[in-house]
């Protein structure tokens, strides 16, 4: 219960940061994708169900506040959480390379799907311009921010796991 409450607070805080403060830190009008970082991180640390929960929550928030169609971002973020959750069993906490690569790949796929459905089908066929000006810089910026944010999320996850183990140990 405590984990869910903390995760919901963390998701809401990340959503507010993404939509307000990260626009201030934008470089060439590109900001890092914090929802992808949080979704993939929790999918790696906790598995498919947790990744899908975080992804669906972020997606519905994005759809309600900024989406042209209700459910588009929810579906994308849920898939991101689900597919990255497969790596839960082969994941080592101290290895930073795997989360950075998975987050960068997930951000790339997310941006390409957004481009495909929101720009390409409306007749805007400048993929290389969009790739060069928006997608690649966002992937790099997100990967760099991941180096800092992931460590914080990992520490929070360890703290929550220790609290859960203590509560289970005192209950039995």
Q: pLDDT for 86-97, tens place per residue?
A: 988 787 777 889
- Report if residue 171 sits inside a domain: no
**What is the domain range of residue 11?**
2-164
User: Would you state the structure tokens that stand for residue 26, as one six-digit string?
Assistant: 């934008």
DSSP label of 93: T
Alpha carbon separation from 35 to 141, 165, 172 (Å, rounded): 13, 28, 37
What secondary structure does DSSP assign to 58-99, as a single string? Answer: HHHHHHHHH-SSTTHHHHHHHHHHHHHHGGGTT--TT--HHH
Stretch 65-77: mean pLDDT: 90
Q: Hey, what long-range contacts does 128-135 have (CB within 8 A, 24 or more apart)?
A: 133/28, 134/30, 135/108, 135/111
Q: Is residue 170 part of a domain?
A: no
| pLDDT tens per residue across span 103-156 | 999 999 999 999 988 887 777 778 888 899 999 999 999 999 999 999 999 999
| Side-chain-side CA neighbours of residue 132 (13 Å) | 4
How far lies 151's CA from each of 45, 76, 155, 159, in Å? 12, 25, 6, 12
Q: What are phi and psi of 30, to 5 degrees?
A: -120, 125
The CA-CA-CA angle for residues 66, 72, 74, to 5°, reads 85
Domain membership of residue 136 (yes or no) is yes
Is residue 172 domain-resident? no
Q: What is the CATH number of the domain that holds 24?
A: 1.10.1760.20
pLDDT at residue 164, as a whole number: 82
The three-state secondary structure class of 31 is coil
- Count how many domains the chain has: 1
- Please say if the pLDDT value at position 29 is more than 90: no
Please say if the pLDDT value at position 67 is more than 90.
Answer: no
The answer, as to whether pTM is greater than 0.85, is yes
Residue reference for tokens 């089908």: 121
Question: Closest Cα to residue 5, out of 152, 160, 151?
Answer: 160
**CB half-sphere exposure, 139, CA atoms < 13 A:** 18
């Amino acid at each position: 219960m405590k984990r869910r409450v903390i995760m919901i607070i963390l998701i809401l805080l990340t959503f507010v940061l993404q939509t307000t403060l990260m626009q201030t830190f934008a470089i060439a009008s590109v900001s890092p994708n914090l929802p992808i970082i949080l979704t993939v991180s929790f999918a790696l640390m906790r598995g498919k169900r947790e990744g899908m929960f975080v992804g669906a929550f972020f997606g519905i928030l994005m759809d309600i506040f900024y989406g042209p169609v209700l459910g588009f971002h929810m579906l994308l973020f849920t898939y991101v959480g689900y597919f990255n959750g497969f790596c839960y069993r082969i994941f080592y906490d101290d290895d930073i390379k795997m989360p950075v690569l998975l987050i960068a790949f997930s951000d790339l796929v997310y941006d390409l799907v957004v481009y495909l459905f929101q720009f390409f089908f409306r007749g805007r066929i400048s993929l290389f311009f969009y790739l060069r000006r928006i997608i690649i810089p966002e992937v790099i910026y997100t990967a760099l921010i991941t180096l800092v944010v992931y460590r914080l999320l990992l520490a929070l996850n360890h703290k929550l796991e220790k609290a859960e183990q203590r509560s289970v140990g005192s209950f039995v």
